[in-house]
Amino acid sequence: MIFPLLVTSAVFAGGCFWGTEYVFEHVRGVRSVTSGFARDRVTGTAADLPQAVEAVRIVYDPAVISYKQLLEIFFTVAHDPTSRDRQGPDVGPEYRAVIFVYSSVEAAAAKEYVAELRSAKQFARPIVTELRVLDRFTVAGAFHQDYSARNLTDGYVVQNDLPKLERLRKVFPGLYQEQRAP
C-alpha cells in the first residue's frame, strides 16, 4: 500500500530538459517547473561518480495531482523509458532517464509503478529508466528556462517538444491545462 507523500516536489530526468519542462508546465496541479542538472548520491569511489544529467524539478500540489500521476505522465508522455542515454536526437549520458527520489516513500511509489508497467508489458522493450537518490539539483541558466515556450517555431521544439504536449492533451485531458505553470 502506498501512503500519500508529504513532499511537494519531484525531480525527473528524461532527456533534454526543454521538452520535459514544457510538458509538466501544462499539468494541472503543477505550480512550477525548473530546468537543471541533477546528480545522485553515491557511495562508491570517485571513479563511480556519475555525470550530472539534464532534469526538471517539479513543484506540485498533492491535493490536485498525485506523485503517481506525475510518474504516469513522465512514462507515457515526457520520455521513452526504454532508451538509455538517448532521447530522440539527444545522445549521451547527460540525457539518461532517471527518477530522482527524496525519500523511501517516494522510492517505494516509483518502484511499485515501474513494476506495474513491467507486469502489464506496457512497453515492447525493457524499461531502463533508473531510480536514484537525489544528491543535488543545480538550476540551469536562464537561456534554458522556458526554452520551448519562448521558441515555439524552433525546429527542435517543433519536432520534439510540441508532439509531447499534444500527447499530454490527448492522453491526459483531465490533467492538461492550457495555461503554463511558471
Q: Residue 59 in contact with residue 19, Cβ under 8 Å? A: no
Residue 44 one-letter amino acid: G
Residue 141's CB: how many other CB atoms inside 10 A? Answer: 8
Q: Which three cell numbers stand for residue 59?
A: 513543484
- Which of 136, 135, 164 has the alpha carbon at shortest distance from 18? 164
Beta strand spans in 61-147 (E) = 86-87, 90-91, 97-101, 130-139
Q: Which three cell numbers stand for residue 156?
A: 527542435
Could you say which of 16, 38, 73, 78 is catalytic?
16
Instruction: Count Cα neighbours of 19 within 13 Å in the Cβ-side half-sphere.
Output: 30
Residues 6+ apart with CB under 8 A from 166: none
**Any catalytic annotation for residue 16?**
yes
Q: Residue 87 in contact with residue 79, Cβ under 8 Å? A: yes
Beta strand spans in 3-156 (E) = 9-14, 30-40, 53-60, 86-87, 90-91, 97-101, 130-139
Residues marked as catalytic: 16
